[in-house]
Amino acid sequence: MNKIITLLLLTSIFINCKSTKNREVDGIFVNKTILGNEFLKFNSNHTFEFYSKIPLLISESKGNWYLKNGEIIINSYPEYQNDYFTVEESLKGNDDESIIHVVDENNYGIYGVDFIMNQNIYITTNEDGKIILNNYSFNVSDKIEFSSINLSLEKNIYSIKNSKSTFIKIKIFSKNYEKKYFENDTIQIKRNKIILNEKSFNKQK
């Protein structure tokens, strides 16, 4: 009987501690700056909302949060992801040529993307967003570097995965300054405030 009572007490304490932690997180936290404010709202259903009201940095994000080792982990919904690229390798075209095709998220070719292959071949996409390399075969050791005004990184690097590939399709998802994307970002909890990316957010009363 005593063992059952002890077990019930421990279970009650564990549940209470867990709910207390959740209560500490629930609510609105504000990072106040001279130019404007940023807001993080944590809902009891483990969703969050982020808003930046700073001029020229106005953005938003929504997603899910959970607790891990006393810290908050946040992940934005997929529709907020931006400023990245994907690559598909395939067998297309003729055997005596290799093609790089750069497109946007709507599959329209992007003109004027500068490439450097293996640090010694400098090429640029044409009006169709393509680079046609005659009498050239990709190798696994090949490294492609490219820059685009649509991406925030000055240099983007990709290594060829399959030496049999003859067609490389690079899809660019442009930087959208109105969307903020969080991926496994960690937030520290310190009493009535939280720390995200070295920024302090105080809990609103």
Task: Kindly list the domain boundaries of the chain, sorted by start residue.
Answer: 2-80+178-203, 84-173
What is the value of pTM for the model shown? 0.71
Average pLDDT of every residue of the chain: 88
Q: Which fold has domain 84-173?
A: Immunoglobulin-like (2.60.40)
| CATH 2.40.128.360 holds for 2-80+178-203 | yes
The pLDDT value given to residue 1 = 55
Judged against a pLDDT cut of 50, whether residue 16 lies above it is answered with no
Report the percent of the chain where pLDDT is more than 70: 88
Judged against a pLDDT cut of 50, whether residue 175 lies above it is answered with yes
Judged against a pLDDT cut of 60, whether residue 9 lies above it is answered with no
Judged against a pLDDT cut of 50, whether residue 108 lies above it is answered with yes
Judged against a pLDDT cut of 70, whether residue 168 lies above it is answered with yes
- Going by C-alpha positions, the residue among 104, 152, 98 that lies closest to residue 128 is 104
Q: What gap in Å lies between CA 156 and CA 171, rounded to an integer?
A: 12
Query: Token pair for residue 107?
Result: 């599959």
Q: pLDDT band at 22, cuts 50/70/90?
A: low
Judged against a pLDDT cut of 70, whether residue 3 lies above it is answered with no
Tokens 């790089």 sit at which residue? 100
Tokens 């609103």 sit at which residue? 204
Cα dihedral sign for 181, 183, 188, 192?
positive
Q: Which whole-number Å values give the CA distances from 171 to 68, 70, 159, 178, in the listed order? A: 34, 38, 15, 20
The pLDDT value given to residue 6 = 45
Q: pLDDT band at 150, cuts 50/70/90?
A: confident
Q: pLDDT band at 10, cuts 50/70/90?
A: very low
3-state secondary structure of 25: helix
The pLDDT value given to residue 191 = 81
What percent of the chain is helix, strand and coil (3-state, nearest 5)?
Answer: 15, 45, 40
User: Could you read off the pLDDT of 113-145 as tens digits, one per residue?
Assistant: 999 988 888 999 999 999 999 988 899 989 999
Cα dihedral sign for 63, 40, 190, 34?
positive
> Who wins on pLDDT, 163 or 38?
38
